[in-house]
Amino acid sequence: MIDLLPTGLPAFKANLHTHSTFSDGALTPGELKAFYLSQGISVVAFTDHEMLHNHSELTEPGVFTALTGYELGFNDVLRLDKHGLPIVHLNLLARRPDLLTHVNFRPEWCWASSRAHREAARSNGIVRGRFADAATLNATIADAREVGFLVTLNHPAWSLIPESLLTALTGLWGFEIYNTSAHINGGSNDCGQLYDTALRTQPHLCCIAADDTHLKAPCGHPRCDRGRGWVTFFAPDIEYASVITALEQAHFYASNGPEITSLRIDGTFLRVTCSPVRSIYLRSSDRRVSSVLASPSGPLITEAALRIKNAMTGPLRLILTDEQGRQAWTNPIPWPYPAAAEPLPA
């Protein structure tokens, strides 16, 4: 039996895509901290547009951790989206809180920041341009990784990213399969097919659910874009380094509702325990699926063993859906599973 999620470690929730009053968000970083703590989310990445800001003053050991990051725009920062071209947004998540070196930076692209912030910004000195073509994007991703960032592709369905560009990208760490803001305000959040497409060329691409918080609507309002998409990660604590390690090692899953409490490979079965759900689908890279479905009049599913069929090829991934239509998504699982893989830490 191989555990795909760590056992014996506590679970924490993180929102990895957040906008504050430092760009086009409606709430201050402090207000966002208070909200997310009220929702049981103890880690928040502040990813305002085009500029890095260190919000370490918000971090409280054992209570809340502020992650450093920012969002880069391609095509739209040049206003090319006005001509019908797709846009690309990348989230850059810093491996350490004091990493404030920008990549592919020009002050005039920082449309949401003050002149003082723009003039004080540090960069790696390499300007790649902001056209949303594969060469520019891949060079920027490589620069970001070298500087010390984890790079995520944001809201690909809302961005109208074509398959030809999606499969040409390299070096990404994460892929937003769910984006609250795109779901609420754009109605364009069907990213499952795009994720399967991206996995053809990047089979280890992690799966992210995030809020992309912008609005001030109160909790419970239909347009509240906070606390409705997160990753649940397993780590000894929420120290900055512990969070980054859990993310880098893919010790997490993405969700906007269901919880996954265990995930194991048992021979040719994938065993999962979870909060009550209506369906569980095991997808492979070749359209073959296994599934467990609750009867309309029967009990919901809290554990299941899904057969990994002989013809299935990796990567594999699970999709769990509850009665409200909310979902949880696992990171990709290589198959056949590497024989030399070390067991996850207890």
pLDDT at 342 over 60: no
| Residues near 230 by beta carbon (within 8 Å), at least 6 away in sequence | 13, 14, 15, 41, 209, 210, 211, 254, 255, 256
pLDDT at 8 over 90: yes
Q: Does one domain contain both 252 and 266?
A: no
- The whole-model pTM stands at 0.94
Q: Does one domain contain both 236 and 276?
A: no
What pLDDT shows up at residue 311? Answer: 80
What pLDDT shows up at residue 187? Answer: 74
Q: Does one domain contain both 283 and 168?
A: no
Q: Is residue 5 part of a domain?
A: no
Q: How confident is the model at residue 340 (pLDDT cuts 50, 70, 90)?
A: very low
Q: How confident is the model at residue 30 (pLDDT cuts 50, 70, 90)?
A: very high
What pLDDT shows up at residue 339? Answer: 65
Q: Does one domain contain both 242 and 109?
A: yes
Task: Provide the token pair at 283.
Answer: 């997808």
Element (H, E) at 178: strand 174-179
Alpha carbons 29 and 23: distance in angstroms, whole number: 11
Q: Does one domain contain both 190 and 135?
A: yes
Q: Does one domain contain both 19 and 49?
A: yes
Domains: count for the chain:
2
Q: Does one domain contain both 296 and 326?
A: yes
The β-bridge partners of 89 are 73
pLDDT digits (tens, 9 = 90+) for 251-265: 999 999 999 999 999
Alpha carbons 100 and 251: distance in angstroms, whole number: 26
String of DSSP letters for 203-218: TT-EEEEE--B---PP
Q: Is residue 328 part of a domain?
A: yes
What pLDDT shows up at residue 83? Answer: 67
Q: Does one domain contain both 174 and 239?
A: yes
SS3 92: strand
What pLDDT shows up at residue 3? Answer: 96
What pLDDT shows up at residue 239? Answer: 98
pLDDT digits (tens, 9 = 90+) for 194-238: 999 999 999 999 999 999 999 888 888 988 899 999 999 999 999
Q: Is residue 3 part of a domain?
A: no
Q: Is residue 2 part of a domain?
A: no
Q: Kindly tell me the sign of the dihedral angle through the C-alpha atoms of 103, 109, 110, 116.
A: positive
Alpha carbons 178 and 197: distance in angstroms, whole number: 15
Q: Is residue 58 part of a domain?
A: yes
**Residue burial 182-206, b: 16+ Cβ < 10 Å; e: rest:** bbbbeeebebbebbbebbeebeebb
**Final residue before a domain boundary, out of 219, 240, 256:** 256
String of DSSP letters for 246-312: HHHTT-EEEESS--EEEEEEETTEEEEEEEEESEEEEE-TTS-EEEEE--TTSPPEEEEEEE--TT-
The average pLDDT across 330-341 equals 83
Q: Does one domain contain both 58 and 114?
A: yes
Q: Which domain holds residue 130?
A: 10-256
Q: Kindly state the percentage of the chain with pLDDT values over 90.
A: 81
CATH number of the structural domain spanning residue 156: 3.20.20.140
| Residues near 135 by beta carbon (within 8 Å), at least 6 away in sequence | none
pLDDT at 346 over 50: no
pLDDT digits (tens, 9 = 90+) for 104-128: 999 999 988 888 888 899 999 999 9
**Nearest alpha-carbon partner for 256 in 179, 328, 207:** 328
Q: Does one domain contain both 183 and 225?
A: yes
Report the C-alpha dihedral over residues 16, 196, 234, 7, rounded to 10 degrees.
170
pLDDT at 18 over 90: yes
pLDDT digits (tens, 9 = 90+) for 143-173: 999 999 999 999 999 999 999 999 999 999 9
Q: Is residue 44 part of a domain?
A: yes
Q: Is residue 55 part of a domain?
A: yes
pLDDT at 341 over 60: no
String of DSSP letters for 31-52: HHHHHHHHTT--EEEE--BS--
Greater pLDDT, 26 or 286: 26
Q: Please, how many CA atoms are within 13 Å of residue 250, restricted to the half-sphere of its CB?
A: 18
**Nearest alpha-carbon partner for 175 in 198, 200, 146:** 198
**Final residue before a domain boundary, out of 235, 256, 277:** 256
Q: Kindly state the percentage of the chain with pLDDT values over 70.
A: 97
Q: Is residue 98 part of a domain?
A: yes
Greater pLDDT, 283 or 287: 283
Q: Does one domain contain both 181 and 93?
A: yes
**Final residue before a domain boundary, out of 203, 238, 256:** 256
Centre a 10 Å sphere on the Cβ of residue 71 and count the other Cβ atoms it contains.
21
Q: Does one domain contain both 71 and 102?
A: yes
Instruction: Write down the residue that tokens 């397993």 correspond to.
Output: 234
CATH number of the structural domain spanning residue 284: 2.60.40
Q: How confident is the model at residue 293 (pLDDT cuts 50, 70, 90)?
A: very high
SS3 125: coil
